[in-house]
Amino acid sequence: MPPARAAAPSAPPRTPPPGAESPLRRRRNALAEEVTELHWDLGGLAYEMAIRDHFRLDVLIRRAAILQERDAELAEVERLLKLEDEAVAGSCPTCSAPHSRGAVYCWQCGTTLMERLPSEAVADRNGTTAVMDALLAPPQRTGEG
């Protein structure tokens, strides 16, 4: 019988050094864990209600709403992580929540991130926007008869 060969050593998985994980990645990991736990809890709750043949829809709806909220937050954090990897993310001046480039409002607190100013190309020398106002005005109806 030939001698057994030693298995080829596999490369160890690449992990960042301790403390090198960004706060956004830590938040994503915590949210992913929480969403998983909320899924299990909701499923277990529905199962327990089913075997007792006593459903409380108000309880199920409340738990599902919490799960939906956390899942939406997880999706936003994952989107921001993708943008962070592409180096296009910023942070909200009010709550410091990360946001993508071009975001108009903060996803967490609703603060306006971009100030809306009239275009200099449209504004005349007095600073009015008469041309733009005329373009955006609803059409005037002529004599109906």
* Cα–Cα distance, 42 to 70 (Å, whole number): 13
Cβ neighbours, 10 Å, residue 111: 13
Q: What is the mean pLDDT of residues 91-111?
A: 82
pLDDT of residue 140: 67
pLDDT of residue 2: 52
Helix (H) or strand (E) holding 90: strand 89-91
Please state, rounded to an integer, the average pLDDT across all residues of the chain: 76
pLDDT of residue 82: 83
What is the pTM (predicted TM-score) of this model? 0.48
Tokens matching residue 124: 């005349």
Contact (Cβ atoms closer than 8 angstroms) between residue 95 and residue 111: yes
Residue pLDDT, tens place only, 11-30 = 444 445 555 678 889 999 99
Q: Closest Cα to residue 100, out of 112, 85, 115, 83?
A: 83
* Cα–Cα distance, 36 to 50 (Å, whole number): 21
Contact (Cβ atoms closer than 8 angstroms) between residue 74 and residue 54: no
Residue pLDDT, tens place only, 125-141 = 555 566 666 666 666 66
